Amino acid sequence: MKTAKHAKQSPLGVRLRRAVSLLTAALCLMVTASAVPEADSATSVSDLQKRLEQIQSSMAQHRQELADAKKRESAAAALEQDLRDQVTVIQGQIVVLKGEIAQVQNAIGQKQQEITAKQAEIDQKELDIDNQWADFKTFMGAMQELREGGSVAMLSAVTDLYQLLTFNEMMQDISVKETQMLDSLEAAKLDLENDYKQLSNEKASLETQKANLDAKNYQMQAKQSELTASITQAQMTQEEAEAAQREAQEAIESDEMDYEAVQGQIQSIISSAAAKQSDLSFTGFICPLRSYSRISSEYGYRTNPVTGVYKLHGGIDFAAPGGTPIYAAASGYVSVAGWSTGGYGNYVVIYHGTMSDGKAYSTLYGHMSRIAARQGTYVNQGDIIGYVGSTGNSTGNHLHLEVWQGKTNAGRVNPRSYVPI
């Protein structure tokens, strides 16, 4: 059977709202006098109908809860990924920032070394100035003594005027040079102090830069912590959504089991009613489609295109446009008309009774887009019972037809042996 991926949802109401009329129709067709009293049977089916409607409502609610939980999980997963992407970006920025902080810290250390060295130069220059100033004061003191009391001695020591002039010039030259040296030392000290101030300003600027980088790093670390906390919250939301999905799925499965059980009770009542009438019989089948594109899958073992499982394909698939009418292959009772939890989608099962070969047969019509037959009613060969679709486990519009010997799929046989194709 050519099948396709689909959402496991269906219009179950087709077989839910008509149970009373179904049983009434079945009872009306009974011809034996030993039939179960109509009022009791109708009441029983009516009660079961109400129960099916309750189950359907519960199933719809749980499916909505499942869909909502999936949306929450998806949104939380997307949020988590976005947050992780942001954390990755911030972590990269923090690495770069720490590198910049380390570089600035190294520059501050180097600048401090330069400042220390410059301070040592200044200290040495001040010592040189102090020593030079002391020598200058000593020299000037000696010159003062000569002026105040040593002139006669100096005059008596020289032998001629040339020596006297030479001595005076030498003393003046020493005085000038001492003054120049002191000025030079003071100028050098001033230059060193200016260098010191420049280095101190550069160090202060680096320290300000580092403080700004530290503040930025702190902000990024705080943002990273905030994002990490948000990631944890998103993970918790996902876990809660996953738990809600499991709970909703379990509830849906429970609803489906209840639905199948109640439907089985309705079918049992219908089968009992059918058994009390004259024996059904028919001479043969007609093709359920008056036109179709091709046979897309034959009866036999194959790998299921949806599940990938190698198993028996218990029918024949007729590829046809969506909405193509499907006709009853033979007259009989509609034992099932509704949604299948087993992959058939919207489907119909008709019990035809005994054929001329002496064996009883049923037919199944799967993946309908819409069901036209009503459960529990009698249909004639050639009546429209539904329309081609792709519901259930299906990969495209087609009719899946099965022929059963008996009333269950345990008796599936190859439709080609019975249906003109």
Please check the confidence at residue 80 and state whether its pLDDT lies above 60.
yes
Bigger pLDDT: 344 or 151?
A: 344
**Triad 267, 12, 6: Cα angle to 5°:** 120
Q: Domain map of the chain by residue range?
A: 18-278, 280-421
pLDDT at 124: 86
Dist. CA 383–CA 132, nearest whole Å: 131
Helix (H) or strand (E) holding 62: helix 38-148
Please check the confidence at residue 23 and state whether its pLDDT lies above 50.
no
Q: Are 334 and 375 in contact (CB under 8 A)?
A: yes
- Lowest average pLDDT, out of 63-77, 259-273, 349-363, 391-405, goes to 259-273
With a threshold of 0.75, does the pTM exceed it? no
Architecture of domain 280-421: Distorted Sandwich (2.70)
Bigger pLDDT: 294 or 123?
A: 294
pLDDT at 324: 98
- Tell me how far CA of residue 140 lies from CA of 6, 48, 150, 249, in angstroms: 114, 133, 14, 111
pLDDT at 40: 43
pLDDT band at 18 (very low <50, low <70, confident <90, very high): very low
pLDDT band at 107 (very low <50, low <70, confident <90, very high): confident
Please check the confidence at residue 10 and state whether its pLDDT lies above 60.
no
- Averaged pLDDT for residues 374-384: 90
pLDDT at 275: 62
Q: Was domain 18-278 assigned CATH 2.40.128?
A: no
- Tell me how far CA of residue 99 lies from CA of 95, 142, 217, in angstroms: 6, 64, 11
pLDDT band at 158 (very low <50, low <70, confident <90, very high): low
| DSSP reduced 3-state for 192 | helix
| DSSP reduced 3-state for 373 | coil
The percent of residues in the chain predicted with pLDDT above 90, rounded, is: 43
Q: Each residue of 169-187: pLDDT tens digit?
A: 766 666 677 677 778 777 8
pLDDT at 161: 60
pLDDT at 182: 72
The two beta strands, 325-327 and 378-379, are unpaired
